[in-house]
Chain A
Amino acid sequence: MRIIVCLKPVPDPKHWSRLALDPKTGTLIRGGIPSIVNPLDRKALEAALQLREKEGGEVITLSMAPPSAMPVLREGLAMGADLSIFLTDLAFAGSDALATSYIMGTAIRKLARYDLILCGDQTLDGSTSLVSAQIAEFLGIPNLMHVSAIEVQKSGVFHVRSRIEHGSMLVEMKAPLVLSVAKEINEPRYITLMNILEGEKKEIRVWSSKDLSLSEPWVGLKGSPSQMADLFIREAKRKGEILQGDPSEMTKTLADRLHRMGYC
């Protein structure tokens, strides 16, 4: 089985206070903030590695990011992926979900053979959760989101459990397919020093727009139909009364206010 895992390098949440939006384009200004693998994408990779352990085959990670994110890809290789494909090109900058899915879908098509594509349900930095379904649509194959368990029933047939509002469903799906995984699917494995050294030996294959047969108008900021109109500050129509000082005084005041409001 050949499994492709979409791994997105995202800005490390420890440094989010340094993030800002470009007021013109609405894209994130990452300004030297270190990246980590998006946590749910690590779970997607863990799910892929577990399937490979049972079924055999290979696991390829696919990432699209600026060149500076290269070290993050080593983490996927250290966890156990066989190969990392890195899509990086200035022309990709500013891509919205549609353009990103198009570029990633085109890269997957270049790999020709694939059974399963795994993603995380959402990313820390974007949270649009669009890319997995959009890759599936570009490739014309089925997809399911919020996946909490994946079982291979027989060759090419999967039983997939997916969270829906107030419950879950079990779905039978045929390969090739795209699944995006939910938080509860697994706990990613621990990486040892040995794993890191093994990861160093594996290949990161870099593809730019020249390596993909892309239609230019669909790529990058210009190929992205979604744009930011403006940014605005929400007016806080709240009283904004602030208590400061002695904790026991404030506790009494707070209890008193809750009492007068009828809560105690």
Chain B
Amino acid sequence: MAVNQRVKSEIWVFAEQRQGELVDVGLELLGKALELAHPAGWKVASVLVGHASEKALCEQLLSFGADEVIVADHPLLRSYCSQSYAKILGKLIREYDPKVFLLGATAMGSDLGARLAVRLRTGLSAHCIGLELSPEKKLLAVVPGWGGNVLARIYSPHTQPQMATVMPGVFNMPQEKEATGRIVPVDVDLNPEDVTYKILEVKREAGQEHALEKAEVIIAGGWGIGSREDWQSVEDLASALHGMVGATRPPVDEGWAKENQMIGQSGRTVHPKLYIGIGISGEMHHMVGIQNADFIIAVNRDPEADIFKMCDLGVVGDFKEILPGLIEEIREKLQK
């Protein structure tokens, strides 16, 4: 490969990898970036940082449409460390001056993005659920606002790159096609002191990994459920419909539901065929996580609840008077 190749892409996407495998959100973002960039006459680079498994991953990124794959390969980059990764990415970004830099809102992407924004003195929109490019080619990042059904567009008009971390699952995976892009290896100048911590052990929890993201039926409960005892009826409805249980933040804080069941801006983004929300008011922070559901049913006592403006079928009533009968009817119908 020729030395001193220049990177030409205006939008860079961090291609997060975990143990030699690309993480979906890096590909989802690549797809979205291509959709934004090409009409504007821009190009998109996936940025791969790591060691040893890069060749196969580069091919994969090219097959998902990347115009360029920037590869920073070094033994000291084998494991993620925020300071070593920020050092080499900060240097690359200063050198090539991309207009936009996108990362997944994962543990790694959030941490790395935060550090890079300081290093580059630029704005970072965190946990976004949408991306747009304005006619002036400014990146507009969509985040839920306060006060019900409102979203805000955030941007950084005076600094570059314009950065955002985006929730996994918000955008679709791009289609694979014939690779036309090129690979651009870059020099990595790192010292052992740049790796400032040592990972002693990684534990994986088997199963459950994408369960909620892949569920076809989700029954979610909110603050309106009121108690741990009554939470059981959410579980029962889910089991009757062979669905999975989701929650808004309050049930998780109260301990009725688990952290990994939380749906919304700081939880998971899901796309079931059927979503039933019970005792959920419809705060935007939750609703952004279910925007891609095919059919939304809401049960809430309060006829003014915001969720009724965002559902396909709303039931105004007390879940305690509806769920027991509903579960019974469902079981009867299933037996027939």
Q: Which residues does A use to contact B, with CB under 8 Å?
A: 16, 19-21, 26, 28, 39, 96-98, 101-102, 122, 127-130, 132-134, 136-138, 141-146, 159, 162-174, 183-184, 218, 224-234, 236, 238-244, 247-248, 250-252, 254-255, 257-259, 261, 263-264
Contact = CB atoms under 8 A, between A and B. Distances in A.
Interface in B253-297: 253, 259, 265-266, 274, 284-285, 291, 295-297
A169 B217 CA distance: 32
Contacts of A122: 266
Interface residues of B, number: 88
Interface of B: 18, 23, 81-83, 86, 106-108, 110-111, 113-115, 117-119, 121-127, 134, 138, 140, 145-147, 149-159, 196-205, 208-209, 217, 240-241, 253, 259, 265-266, 274, 284-285, 291, 295-297, 303, 308-318, 321-322, 325-326, 329-331, 333-334
Contacts of A28: 146
Contact of B329 (A144, A244, A251): A251
Contact of A165 (B107, B121, B297): B107
Contacts of B154: 26, 226-229
Contact of A238 (B118, B127, B274, B312): B312
When A and B form their complex, which 5 residue pairs have the shortest distance between CB atoms, in order from nearest?
Answer: A225-B123, A226-B123, A133-B114, A255-B329, A247-B321
Nearest to A141: B196
Contact of B325 (A101, A224, A251, A261): A251
Contacts of B311: 238, 240
Given A26-B145, A138-B118, 17 more contacts: A98-B123, A122-B266, A127-B126, A137-B115, A145-B111, A169-B201, A225-B123, A227-B123, A229-B153, A231-B150, A234-B291, A243-B313, A250-B317, A254-B315, A255-B326, A255-B333, A264-B334
A35 B115 CA distance: 29
Residues of A contacting B: mostly: mixed
Contacts of B240: 264
Contact of A164 (B107, B118, B325): B107
Contacts, number: 248
Given A145-B110, A171-B199, A243 B315 contact: yes
A241 B314 CA distance: 6
B312 A239 contact: yes
Residues of B contacting A: mostly: mixed
Given A225-B121, A226-B125, A127 B153 contact: no
A241 B297 CA distance: 10
Given A171-B200, A247-B317, A238 B83 contact: no
A20 B149 contact: no
A9 B202 CA distance: 34
Contact of A21 (B152, B259, B296): B152
A20 B146 contact: yes
Given A137-B115, A226-B156, A254-B322, A261 B313 contact: no
B121 A127 contact: no
Given A122-B266, A236-B310, A243-B315, A263 B326 contact: no
Given A227-B155, A230-B153, A255-B330, A169 B203 contact: yes
Contacts of B314: 240-243
